[in-house]
Amino acid sequence: MSSRISLTRYLVEQQREHGHIPAQLRLLIEVVARACKSIAISVNKGALGEVLGSAASENVQGEIQKKLDIISNEVLIEANEWGGHLAAMASEEMDSIHVVPNRYPQGEYLLLFDPLDGSSNIDVNVSIGTIFSVLRKVNNQRGISEEDFLQPGKQQAAAGYCVYGPQTTLVLTVGEGVAMFTLDRETGSWVLTEDQVQIPEDTKEFAINMSNMRHWDAPVKRYIDECLSGKEGPRGKDFNMRWVASMVADVHRILTRGGVFLYPWDKRDPDKPGKLRLMYEANPMAFLVEQAGGLATNGRQRIMDVVPGKLHERVAVVLGSKNEVQRVTDYHLASPT
Ligand code: AHM
Ligand code: MG
């Protein structure tokens, strides 16, 4: 048992060895991890905890909220607002930012999250998760506003997700590679189970919602057509397909065994750049994927270089094994906009 490394020990050692995890950031990560533990318990209770089904409300994106979306959001807010490590938070489930109340000290970080990603899978007992992104508060001159959050993903100080699946796994980067921690339910602690995760550069597995095929743009259609034509086609190999419809689960598979994930722009809603949200879905996943040796683009540009214009901005996403993402990106760059 002495060889087990807990999340706390991992963070302390990272701080000692690399000196790049200030105390507030360490506290922040531990608090988020603790909140995820509490969300995991609610997710696990399911029907017994009366947490399934819809709440009678919509979020800012016009989506019907599930009870667990709201519960998870509250757990994250309550856990994070009093510790002195944060200045403000933003969430998929809140229209505007939540500034730390005056009665608590204000910290140096900004936290963004999708409290429960993969909402359509909650009631059907399929993996779901929490995604988070950490930015530094760069402007010390005044109070906090939404503008303070509008930083490109390359400025993230940390990012991660927790997947509530057959195991509960927390995946984290502080910019020094990617580590995975599995929740030991008997001791209640996060145990390091994978360090320096690497995504294979090549893959035979793609993830996309094929039901949208008729709406795709030519470069995406070309890429998937080539995969589908298998050994006999230009790629000269057979491909496999997976689509969980929970980004956390699809990205977790890619971090574990490689693959490429696409949620491209499509013609259903041409004014939206994509379905997924830049700041609390695409950016944290892009940070993790790049830290594991993969790539993440919007088809034309590195996701973490995109400068957000608004908090709930959407973006097209192509991420995963380096050579496949490069190929999809090359197909886009070769085609007129
Ligand atoms: P959510 O944040 O409302 O759960 O939506 C995001 C989810 C992603 O987890 C997933 O990749 C995608 O939506 C699935 O979309 P679709 O149902 O169109 O396949
Ligand atoms: Mg989501």
Chain segment 112-161, per-residue pLDDT in tens? 999 999 988 988 999 999 999 999 998 776 689 999 999 999 999 999 99
Question: Residue 109 C-alpha to ligand 1 middle, in angstroms?
Answer: 27
Ligand 1, pocket residues at CB < 6 Å = 63, 92, 114, 117-120, 209, 245-247, 263, 275
Q: Domains of the chain: which residue ranges?
A: 7-194, 205-333
CATH number corresponding to 205-333: 3.40.190.80
Q: Which of 263, 266, 277 to mutate to test the pocket of ligand 1 (most atoms within 8 A of CB)?
A: 263
Using alpha carbons, select from 293, 255, 295, 299 the residue that is nearest to residue 276.
299
Question: Residue 311 C-alpha to ligand 2 middle, in angstroms?
Answer: 14
**Per-residue pLDDT tens over the stretch 5-39:** 999 999 999 888 877 789 999 999 999 999 999 99
- DSSP annotation of 63: P
d(CA 318, CA 326) in angstroms, rounded, equals: 9
Question: Residue 117 C-alpha to ligand 1 middle, in angstroms?
Answer: 7
User: In the predicted model, is pLDDT for residue 309 greater than 70?
Assistant: yes
pLDDT band with cut points at 50, 70 and 90 for residue 236: very high
Give me the pLDDT at residue 1, please: 46
Of the listed ligands, the closest to the CA of 284 is: 2
Q: Which of 247, 265, 318 to mutate to test the pocket of ligand 1 (most atoms within 8 A of CB)?
A: 247
**Per-residue pLDDT tens over the stretch 83-119:** 999 999 999 989 999 999 999 999 999 999 999 999 8
E strands present in 67-208 = 86-91, 98-99, 109-117, 128-136, 158-164, 168-173, 178-184, 189-194, 205-207
E strands present in the chain = 54-58, 64-66, 86-91, 98-99, 109-117, 128-136, 158-164, 168-173, 178-184, 189-194, 205-207, 240-241, 260-263, 276-277, 295-297, 314-315, 317-320
Which residue's C-alpha comes closest to atom 11 of ligand 1? 247
Annotated binding site: 92, 114, 116-120, 209, 275, 281
pLDDT band with cut points at 50, 70 and 90 for residue 52: confident
Give me the pLDDT at residue 2, please: 57
Domain 7-194, what fold? Fructose-1,6-Bisphosphatase; Chain A, domain 1 (3.30.540)
User: In the predicted model, is pLDDT for residue 336 greater than 90?
Assistant: no
Which residue's C-alpha comes closest to atom 2 of ligand 1? 117
d(CA 254, CA 85) in angstroms, rounded, equals: 32
Q: Give the helix/strand (H/E) hosting 10.
A: helix 7-18
Residues recorded for the chain = 337
Q: How many CA atoms lie within 13 A of 236 on its CB side?
A: 0
Question: Residue 76 C-alpha to ligand 2 middle, in angstroms?
Answer: 15
Question: Residue 224 C-alpha to ligand 1 middle, in angstroms?
Answer: 20
Q: Which of 262, 276, 314, 318 to mutate to test the pocket of ligand 1 (most atoms within 8 A of CB)?
A: 276
Question: Residue 209 C-alpha to ligand 1 middle, in angstroms?
Answer: 10
Which residue's C-alpha comes closest to atom 16 of ligand 1? 245
Annotated binding site for Mg(2+): 92, 114, 116-117, 281
Q: Would you state the structure tokens that stand for residue 70, as one six-digit string? A: 């709201």
Rounded to 10 degrees, the C-alpha dihedral 59/64/115/119 comes to -150
Annotated binding site for substrate: 117-120, 209, 275
Question: Residue 250 C-alpha to ligand 1 middle, in angstroms?
Answer: 11
pLDDT band with cut points at 50, 70 and 90 for residue 281: very high
d(CA 88, CA 238) in angstroms, rounded, equals: 47
Q: Which of 246, 252, 254, 319 to mutate to test the pocket of ligand 1 (most atoms within 8 A of CB)?
A: 246
